[in-house]
Amino acid sequence: MVATQTASHPVDGSHPDAHPPTFESVWAALQETDRIVKENAKQIGKLGNRFGEMVEYMVVPNLCDKFTEFGFVFEKANSGTRVSDHKNDIYFEIDVMLENGDKAMLVEVKTKLTTEDVKEHIVRLEKMRTYADLHGDKRTFLGAVAGVVLTSNVKKYALGQGFYVIEPSGETFNITPPNGKPKEW
């Protein structure tokens, strides 16, 4: 059978009214695609933050009680503590801070905990120690990290840095104490 061209369907498969794309139409399509990708990334970022908030709300109410198993009696638990010391150029945020008269535990909460997050928490605790010293706060500071998802390597690293590691277990969570004595700042 021989292919023939009809008025409605040319042999090459192109539409009779089709025009080749112009630079402007391709550019507009690329810009729209870029806008969509950026919006999706923004929404995914918000979702990740929401997971982090959800972890905080699940963990914080029982965290003080759970730490009594390790001999700590924390009377206060605060979420979202900000330190902004303009005079000394010290700025940081604490996801959860557990406190009593002589100790405070700074807890970093992540949906997916990484080694980089643990390193950043060490820096945060160093800043806390500096800030506390500048303001006459003689408390001992301890660190903990919490993650819904964390690899065994990240957990091992965090424990080796003197942190308590908080991770989900069924409907609650477990706390693993650091290797040896917890690091104090």
Per-residue model confidence (pLDDT) at position 53: 61
Per-residue model confidence (pLDDT) at position 28: 79
Per-residue model confidence (pLDDT) at position 19: 77
Per-residue model confidence (pLDDT) at position 8: 52
Q: What's at 5, amino acid-wise?
A: Q
Mean pLDDT by 10 residues, the chain (185 residues): 52 64 81 78 62 59 86 90 93 93 93 95 97 95 93 96 91 87 94
Per-residue model confidence (pLDDT) at position 1: 53
Residue range 33-176 forms a domain whose CATH class is: alpha beta
What single string gives the DSSP state of each residue in 155-169? HHHHHHTT-EEEEEE
Integer Cα distance of 65 and 72 in angstroms: 9
Please report, for the chain, the start and end positions of each structural domain, with discontinuous segments joined by +.
Answer: 33-176
Integer Cα distance of 25 and 50 in angstroms: 38
Integer Cα distance of 99 and 41 in angstroms: 36
Q: CB neighbours (10 Å) of residue 88?
A: 11
Per-residue model confidence (pLDDT) at position 128: 96
Token pair, residue 7, equals: 């008025």
pTM for the structure as a whole: 0.70
Q: What length is written for the chain?
A: 185
Integer Cα distance of 128 and 172 in angstroms: 29
147: Cβ contacts below 8 Å, ≥ 6 apart: 109, 110, 111, 112, 113, 117, 154, 165, 166, 167
What single string gives the DSSP state of each residue in 36-93? HHHHHHHHHHHHHHHHHHHHHHHHHHHHHHHHGGGT----EEEEEEEEEETTTTEEEE
